[in-house]
């Protein structure tokens, strides 16, 4: 095999989320290199009420972005069961018709469909495909001509480096936003309690299953009846995903799986650049246009500073503080990249 990565440019794309047309404009106007969106069809991993794009909004958004030199990726990253299959293939057709710059897919069947019917439409491997090693990436590259892969948020920086050394694919990693502690695509906690998971319905802890209760001692939150957490008055209460709830194990009540915290990679940006990462992704299509604007603007400035002089780059204190205010649980970590918990 020849040097797999000799042609990789040092350029790094900033890939930002948009759950609506105003959010897309906010990302484009504040310096995103690419924006990712989903259709309003339950076929992407942020299948939330009131979120996502109609075909007409997608057309307008793609036009807006392309006129300003920004690329648009369409996420179609659920695993369609038979009843969703036809809709899913139609959505791939639609992304091609609208001249999206790529589709982000996880399902093997859909990858095959896109490769067969739309060979000129770029195929990116979604984080939901759970490809955590270069051998798995080799499968998707050879089988479907995938161009880029988004890595699950479970790899250490050293492991990201190893993957890049061994693959021909462009590698995109998460840089900021909510943190999945489980391997994406390998987590059925949500469906075990609510019947709906990211794999099957594009949603984790669906809003219709959430119930808040005010009690004398504070607030309780249930997911389909199951008590996920209990907060004292004044305590910050996050969205009730199972992995961030407080439960009893070995006689202690604790965050048995994960603290509510966000991912923020500013501290290791130069190392990610040096590793050969081709794109930094921001999580949060469910977030407001104002959030998208602020995160995009902040990360744009930091990424530019880092690319200008990676060796001397240090995150601006103001940038870190701004991101921290936006972070879930108001704290952030390097997640698996640094593996503080190993």
- The interface with another protein within residues 83-112 (CB under 8 A) comprises 83, 85, 106-110, 112
By CB under 8 A, what part of segment 207-246 binds another protein? 208-211, 222-230, 242-243, 246
Residue 312 in tokens = 């001397």
By CB under 8 A, what part of segment 175-214 binds another protein? 181-183, 185-189, 191-195, 197, 199-200, 208-211
- When binding is defined by CB under 8 A, the residue of 60, 136, 274, 305 that contacts another protein is 136
CB of 156 to another protein, least distance (A): 8
CB of 135 to another protein, least distance (A): 4
Pick 182 or 327: Cβ nearer another protein? 182
- When binding is defined by CB under 8 A, the residue of 140, 244, 283, 297 that contacts another protein is 140
x/- letters, 53..82, toward another protein (CB under 8 A): --------------------------xxxx
Pick 155 or 164: Cβ nearer another protein? 155
Closest CA to 101 of 37, 47, 51, 57: 37
CB of 121 to another protein, least distance (A): 17
Radius of gyration from C-alpha coordinates of the chain: 20
CB 130 within 8 A of CB 185: yes
| DSSP-derived secondary structure letter, 53 | B
User: What region, left, alpha or beta, does residue 198 occupy, with left being phi > 0 and alpha being psi -120 to 50 degrees?
Assistant: alpha
CB of 137 to another protein, least distance (A): 8
Q: How many Cβ atoms sit within 10 Å of the Cβ of residue 253?
A: 11
Pick 68 or 192: Cβ nearer another protein? 192
Contacts of 171 (CB under 8 A, 6+ apart): 148, 149, 151, 160, 163, 164, 276, 277, 278, 279
Query: What CA–CA distance (Å, rounded) separates 60 from 66?
Result: 10
Pick 150 or 243: Cβ nearer another protein? 243
Query: What CA–CA distance (Å, rounded) separates 204 from 191?
Result: 8
CB of 289 to another protein, least distance (A): 29
Pick 188 or 290: Cβ nearer another protein? 188
Query: What CA–CA distance (Å, rounded) separates 292 from 35?
Result: 11
User: Could you give the C-alpha distances from 108 to 80, 197, 206, in angstroms and in order?
Assistant: 10, 18, 25
Pick 77 or 286: Cβ nearer another protein? 77
By CB under 8 A, what part of segment 254-313 binds another protein? 254, 256-258
Pick 72 or 189: Cβ nearer another protein? 189
Query: What CA–CA distance (Å, rounded) separates 285 from 306?
Result: 25
CB of 185 to another protein, least distance (A): 6
Pick 12 or 193: Cβ nearer another protein? 193
Pick 38 or 185: Cβ nearer another protein? 185
By CB under 8 A, what part of segment 321-340 binds another protein? 336, 339
46 phi and psi, to 5 degrees? -130, 65
Q: How many residues bind another protein, per CB under 8 A?
A: 77
88 phi and psi, to 5 degrees? -65, -45
Residue 283 in tokens = 């999580």
Query: What CA–CA distance (Å, rounded) separates 75 from 110?
Result: 12
CB of 152 to another protein, least distance (A): 9
Residue 154 in tokens = 């479970």
- When binding is defined by CB under 8 A, the residue of 147, 162, 219, 300 that contacts another protein is 162
CB of 127 to another protein, least distance (A): 13
CB of 253 to another protein, least distance (A): 6
Question: Per DSSP, which regions of 255-302 are E strands?
Answer: 262-264, 279-282
168 phi and psi, to 5 degrees? -90, -15
């Amino acid at each position: 095999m020849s040097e797999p990565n000799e042609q990789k440019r040092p350029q790094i794309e900033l890939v930002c989320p948009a759950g609506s047309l105003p959010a897309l404009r906010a990302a484009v106007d504040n310096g995103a290199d690419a924006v990712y969106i989903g259709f309003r069809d339950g076929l992407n991993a942020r299948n939330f009420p009131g979120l996502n794009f109609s075909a007409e909004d997608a057309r307008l958004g793609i036009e807006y972005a392309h006129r300003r030199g920004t690329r648009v990726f369409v996420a179609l990253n659920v695993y369609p069961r038979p009843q969703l299959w036809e809709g899913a293939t139609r959505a791939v057709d639609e992304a091609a018709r609208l001249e999206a710059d790529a589709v982000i897919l996880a399902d093997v069947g859909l990858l095959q469909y896109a490769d067969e019917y739309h060979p000129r439409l770029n195929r990116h491997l979604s984080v939901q495909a759970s490809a955590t090693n270069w051998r798995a990436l080799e499968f998707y590259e050879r089988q479907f001509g995938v161009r880029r892969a988004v890595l699950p948020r479970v790899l250490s920086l050293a492991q990201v480096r190893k993957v890049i050394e061994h693959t021909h694919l462009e590698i995109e990693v998460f840089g900021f936003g909510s943190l999945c502690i489980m391997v994406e695509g390998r987590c059925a906690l949500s469906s075990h309690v609510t019947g709906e998971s990211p794999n099957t319905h594009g949603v984790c802890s669906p809003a219709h299953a959430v119930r808040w209760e005010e009690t004398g001692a504070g607030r309780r939150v249930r997911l389909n009846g199951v008590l996920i957490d209990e907060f004292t008055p004044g305590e910050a209460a996050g969205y009730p995903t199972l992995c961030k709830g407080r439960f009893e194990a070995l006689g202690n009540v604790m965050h048995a799986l994960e603290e509510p915290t966000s991912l923020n990679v500013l501290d290791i940006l130069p190392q990610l650049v040096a590793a050969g990462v081709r794109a930094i992704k921001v999580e949060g299509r469910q977030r407001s246009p104002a959030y998208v604007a602020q995160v995009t603007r902040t990360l744009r400035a930091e990424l530019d500073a880092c690319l200008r002089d990676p060796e001397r780059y240090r995150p601006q204190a103001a940038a870190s503080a701004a991101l921290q205010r936006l972070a879930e649980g108001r704290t952030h970590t390097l997640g698996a990249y640094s593996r503080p918990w190993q």
